Structure 1
Amino acid sequence: MKKRVLSIAVLTLVATSATAADRMHPADLRRIQKARERLVPAVEKEFGPKAKFTHLFGQGRGMLAGVIAEIPAEPLATDDLPLLAIVQYDETTGAVRVVDRQFKYREARSVGPSVALLDGEGTLRLRESNGRERVLARGVGGDLFPTAKGDAVLATMQATGNQAHETSVAIIDMKGNVKVLADGPGVDATPTISPDGKTVVYVSGRTSVASFYVTTVEGEEPKQITNVGLENWMLFEGVPASFVPPPVSSHHMEWVSEDVLRYNAGGGEFWKINVRTGQAAPDLGGGL
């Protein structure tokens, strides 16, 4: 499977452009500036002056940051992903601590008091607060998103064997049980789960246009809620006014209510979507 479909590049803070900043909600811009102020000196102290943090995973006290050893001299190929060391950054206090110094992870996510770590081979491990570590699953592509209770994590799974579909969406509990919730043609990816732990939202390209779908933890028949009726050829002459962009990753999705999801649509823009109605709009500080 092409690595680019893993969508782990969430919010790259090293090179936020002025243009992106102009489109960004002021609160998000303040969060980025604050994160830079705290993380840049801490990363240089712990990893040396060439090291840079490039990714943020999650929000709040459980936010994690991915660190690369140094910026590559040449741009990475499309399918290449840098392997990361992981630090924890507490948005509330600004405290930074090292989770793992080894540059071997694609991404990471806090799951309750533990940390889920996905390595470059697609093995997902859970590091508990007491330091013990165990394997949760293999063949994991990325897009980690924990439940509000911290009793499971959603992820995009890689295709195995003779499967025709490129990726699927699954929920993985803390015992390592993997349950596939969505496995349609092409790519199903970028999942998140509502605060009550019942509704699963993800992105699928099965209609040729990346669109939001909803299902449940029981794996009910998925329902398309955005870009209904659009096909990729309709975008050749410009983006239709009805088009709702997909998220760049699961890591900067946050639920502002049981029904409304806020997500990073790329280019400095955040959107809100009501997952019951499919109504969506850029988040410019107003309601939905």
Structure 2
Amino acid sequence: MRKLYLAVTTLVLAATSATAADRMNPADARRVQSAREKLVPAIEKEFGPKARLIHLYGHGANALAGIMAEPPSEATGDIPLLAIVGWNERTGAMRVVDREFKYREARSVGTQVALLEANGDLRLREANGRTRLLAQRVGGDLFPTPKGDALLATLTRTGNEAHETSIGIVDLTGRVKEIADGPGVDAMPSISPDGKTVVFVSGRTTVASFFRTTVDGAEPVQLTNKGLSAWLLSQGEPADFVPPPVSNYAMEWVDDDTLRYNAGGGEFWKLNVRTGEASPDLGGGK
């Protein structure tokens, strides 16, 4: 269960099956194909022919990408150490943010870049090139606030196995505020465009489910998979089961109340964060 929440898999950049490709929203298919065509050649030129594009972080002119030095000789299950590049999706231009392979993930925060190191140290690379420590014991799942003045993140815990991780918000002065902490794992936070609603995925009910809270830490409200348990799922997925996202980087807000996300295998879903209503999103322009 822990790997499910802490995995940083994002938009599928590796080859997908024909069936999955058929189910992918055309806009997402175009974005993945654009990344392959424009960014991959630049990565190979800058980092060598064995370097691989692993993750896309964010959208538009301030998108970032994680680069792996070379594919492992065998699957280990470990999250790879990444170098980070900036990528302007509109122009195709790439710039190197940090060429050392020592990061787990990254996010643009305004004109600055948040970089998460393997040891859980979260650092901020300022526009002038200076880097400073923001927070420690950060597990990942970075997601910037709409104003660009803070980051949502999954925080790791120490000495409390019942609560493996929690959801926190880290402002650019380094102040950390915990806003959700339940039994097991809380992870994958995301915030609405108006900055009022925070959603995250939790295993506190034994089934990965969406919950809603606020930046002030309001009591979390379960949105999906109410009444389900891991035991029930062992008998087969019921018709009303809502799958979790592959990561919070694969979440895109359609509006202040609607979240669209990648559930893996080419499946995309839409979730109303007010009502908890969710359904597959098989196509369209968004």
Please give the TM-score of this superposition, normalised by the length of structure 2. Answer: 0.96
- What secondary structure sits across from 2:249 in the alignment? coil
Contact 1:210 1:246 in 2 (8 A): yes
Change (3 A) 1:119 1:111: same
Q: What CA RMSD, in Å, does the superposition of the two structures yield over aligned residues?
A: 1.7
Partner of 2:69: 69
Moved more, 145-154 or 163-172: 163-172
* Matched ranges for 1:1-80 at <5 A: 5-76=5-76, 78=77, 80=78
Contact 1:85 1:103 in 2 (8 A): yes
Percent identity, aligned pairs only? 69
Contact 1:11 1:56 in 2 (8 A): yes
Partner of 2:147: 149
C-alpha deviation, 1:223, in angstroms: 0.4
Count of matched residue positions in the alignment of Structure 1 and Structure 2: 286
Tell me, yes or no, if structure 1 residue 124 matches structure 2 residue 151. Answer: no
Contact 1:59 1:252 in 2 (8 A): no
Partner of 2:168: 170
- What secondary structure sits across from 1:251 in the alignment? helix
- What secondary structure sits across from 2:245 in the alignment? coil
- CA–CA distance in structure 2, aligned partners of residues 255 and 62 of structure 1: 17
Contact 1:3 1:81 in 2 (8 A): no
Partner of 2:274: 276
- CA–CA distance in structure 2, aligned partners of residues 286 and 131 of structure 1: 40
**Any gaps of 5 or more consecutive residues in structure 2?**
none
- CA–CA distance in structure 2, aligned partners of residues 171 and 28 of structure 1: 28
C-alpha deviation, 1:267, in angstroms: 1.0
Partner of 1:266: 264
Residue by residue, what CA displacement relative to the aligned partner does 1:175-218 show, whole Å, maximum 9, x if unpaired? 01000011100000000011111111000111111000001111
C-alpha deviation, 1:2, in angstroms: 5.6
Partner of 1:249: 247
Moved more, 18-27 or 60-69: 18-27
- What secondary structure sits across from 2:29 in the alignment? helix
Contact 2:24 2:283 in 1 (8 A): no
**Any gaps of 5 or more consecutive residues in structure 1?**
none
* Matched ranges for 1:173-188 at <5 A: 173-188=171-186
- CA–CA distance in structure 2, aligned partners of residues 152 and 201 of structure 1: 16
Partner of 1:112: 110
Contact 2:257 2:274 in 1 (8 A): yes
Partner of 1:134: 132
Structure 2 letter corresponding to 1:276 = R
- CA–CA distance in structure 2, aligned partners of residues 68 and 173 of structure 1: 29
- CA–CA distance in structure 1, aligned partners of residues 165 and 264 of structure 2: 22
* Matched ranges for 1:191-206 at <5 A: 191-206=189-204
* Matched ranges for 1:216-231 at <5 A: 216-231=214-229
Residue by residue, what CA displacement relative to the aligned partner does 1:63-114 show, whole Å, maximum 9, x if unpaired? 11111110111112x3x11100011111111111111100000000111111
- What secondary structure sits across from 1:233 in the alignment? helix
Q: Please list every run of at least 4 consecutive aligned residues from structure 1 whose deviation after the TM superposition is greater than 4 angstroms.
A: 1-4
Structure 1 letter corresponding to 2:32 = I
Contact 2:2 2:185 in 1 (8 A): no
